[in-house]
Amino acid sequence: MRYLKPQASSPLPPFLEGSAAFIRHYVRRQLPQFIILAVLVISAASCAVAIQYVMKVLVDAMAGPREGSAAQTALAIFISLIAVESILWRLCGWLGCKATLAIGVQMRLDLFDFLNGQPMKYFAENLAGSLGQRVTATAGNFGALTNIVIWRVAPPAVDFIGTVIVFTVVDWWMAVALASAVVVIMGGLLAFGERGKHLHRTYASYANEVGGSLIDVITNMWSIKAFSARSREHARLAASFRAEADAQRDSWMYTEKARLIHDIALWVMAGGMLAWAVRQWSRGEITPGDVVLVSALTFRILHGSRDMALSLVDMVQHFGFIEDTLRIIGQPQTVVDRPQAPAIRPRGGAIEFRQVSFTYGTDVEAIHNLDLSIPPGQKVGIVGPSGAGKSTFVHLLQRLYDVQGGQILVDGQPIASVTQDSLREALAVVPQEILLFHRTVMENIRFARPEASDEEVHAAARAAHCEAFISRLPEGYDTLVGERGIKLSGGQRQRIGIARAFLKAAPVIVLDEATSALDTESELVIQASLVKMFRDRTVIAVAHRLSTLSSFDRILVMNGGRVVEDGDAAELRAQGGLFARMWRLQAEGLTLDAAE
């Protein structure tokens, strides 16, 4: 039999293949705005150079005959250029803000969309807080890069070109000397900055990891208090913070060394250029205005070159942050839809496993050559000892992982050949651990079907026996449940999870120990509601308490990744096998693991 094999992994989108490609992708999306921004920046910086030249003209005019109008004309031009420069910079600020914020929104959405396509194994291996911080910080790093280019790199570059042109009017050799000095200083600083690139990357990695670790500790504050671990966690965080601080100090001090090198070069070059200009003036070869021009532009270009060089070092640091984010978030997706995959067409909820095998990366298979057929509308319970493969069965059915061998079909359609979203739309899943959003009770139940009316939400809550405790909440259905639903008990969260399943009313209902936090009486009542509400739907229930499955059509007993027994509760008890042993142990208040 030929099976449809899932695609091994998804190729990375081009914009995730490196920080440079990432930046280019988003600049192109707002290219007209960035072109206009570049024109404004060049114009504003050119005005600044022109102002210095007009100052020279003004000084020379003031040194001449007092009755001339040249000084008044130069003054008028000087004031006008200051106003134009100011207006142009304000336009740069407005347009830069608009373009950067628009890209920041889209960037975070794109990263979230790609992150959302990662398999559950990926989220088990990466801290949620760290991932969230990386997504948010990447937009901030792009904004910082944009500001650096607009305010600290482009203006000095324009100043340099303009200054060299102006200096040719004063003294050709001065222009050559200044250009040569700036090129040497800039080249040296850039080479020096490149050598420290690994320090900036290391700091970026530490900063993201520490942020995620701190959020993880805050999220698990109950465990810290319950196990008297405050001092231990304080010590662990202190070690992490110190490691981050050490990495930050190395990055910071390397930049300070670059500043020191430039300050020495600035002192030598500025002093030399000014002495040269004064000497030329004393010989009558240049005017007092030329001396003022050389002095002003030399300091401006050398300060600008320092800002530009150090800004380029800062840019390396921001690129390091982005590269670190892409290294973590931009990992190839391993569970992906096939090209042009169709949506699944539900036709009753039939489920079939054909020779399915799966391993989590170890030598031991969690599911081994599983052959299984569940007809539409059947109520099936799944039981077995810990590690038998029950939860893996549920995860594979949802295609949270792809099988390594065999094929899973829903209503005759291989789940690897349809879109993941359409598959999960056909399933209503209630896991053992219900994690709620920090939203109201109403919003959490309605999450299963956003278009549902209030009455439909209330009906689902009644069926899941939620209304009694909801009515006691401070604001009823409008009560915020807290992060991960912390304001509610485990049983209350499970009831809300079951209410979601009722509201979704998908053709296949999957309950992964969905009532484990309820008392036996409540569990029996809700199981009865499930059978009644979903009498025409396929129900798969992983359960720990075997008695709650007595009314189910069929029970599968799993062990070692295989189905070792199959039948209804009465038949399995009569067989005297694993199910009968588990039933007897539970009746005696023991578990199979404890008995072994």
Q: Report pLDDT digits (tens) over 302-313.
A: 667 667 766 776
Residue 592, pLDDT above cutoff 60: no
Interval 189-217 mean pLDDT: 74
> Helices 288-329 and 70-116 meet at what angle, rounded to 10?
10
At 547-572, the pLDDT tens digits run: 778 778 899 999 988 999 999 888 89
Q: What pTM does this model have?
A: 0.64
* The pLDDT of residue 419 is above 60: yes
pLDDT at 84: 93
Helix (H, G, I), strand (E, B) or coil at 226: helix
Q: Which of 420, 410, 436, 443 is closest to 510 using CA atoms?
A: 410
CA 484 – CA 462 distance, rounded (Å): 22
| Mean pLDDT for the chain overall | 81
Contact 578, 564 (CB under 8 A): yes
Residue 119's H or E segment, with its range, is: none
The CA-based diameter of the chain, rounded to the nearest angstrom, is: 122
> Quick check: 8 pLDDT over 60?
no
Residue 596 has pLDDT above 80, yes or no: no
Alpha helices per DSSP H over 473-554: 490-504, 520-533
Residue 440: both structure tokens together: 């109201």
pLDDT-derived band at 351, boundaries 50, 70, 90:
very high
| pLDDT at residue number 64 | 65
Q: What is the distance between the alpha carbons of residues 366 and 120, in angstroms, rounded to a whole number?
A: 16
- The predicted pLDDT at position 594 comes to 46
Domains in the chain, please, with CATH?
Answer: 14-329 (1.20.1560.10), 351-595 (3.40.50.300)
% of the chain at pLDDT higher than 70:
88
Mean pLDDT of 44-72: 77
**476-508 confidence digits (pLDDT tens):** 999 988 877 888 888 888 888 888 888 887 889
List pLDDT tens digits, range 228-258. Answer: 777 888 888 888 888 888 888 887 787 777 7
59-63, 298-302, 437-441, 519-523: range with lowest mean pLDDT: 519-523
- The yes-or-no verdict on residue 535 having pLDDT over 80 is no
CA torsion through residues 209, 212, 218, 222, sign: negative
Tens of pLDDT, residues 452-467: 899 999 988 888 888 8
By the 8 A CB rule, do 562 and 358 touch? no
Q: What is the 3-state secondary structure (H, E, C) of 385-418?
A: CCCCCHHHHHHHHCCCCCCCEEEEEECCEEHHHC
pLDDT confidence of residue 373: 93
Amino acid at the residue 116 = N
Q: What is the pLDDT of residues 257-311, one digit of tens each?
A: 777 777 777 777 777 777 777 777 777 777 777 777 777 777 777 667 667 766 7
Residues 433-459 have pLDDT tens digits of: 787 888 899 999 998 888 989 999 998
Percent of the chain with pLDDT strictly greater than 90:
13
Confidence of residue 220 (pLDDT cuts 50, 70, 90): confident
Higher per-residue confidence, 374 vs 546: 374
Radius of gyration of the chain (CA): 35
**Cα–Cα nearest to 111, from 333, 401, 325, 335:** 325
pLDDT of residue 296: 76
Per-residue pLDDT band for 222 (boundaries 50, 70, 90) equals low
pLDDT bucket at 595, cuts 50 / 70 / 90: very low
More confident call, 299 vs 318: 318
**Banded pLDDT at 109 (limits 50, 70, 90):** confident
What local confidence, expressed as pLDDT, does residue 549 receive? 81
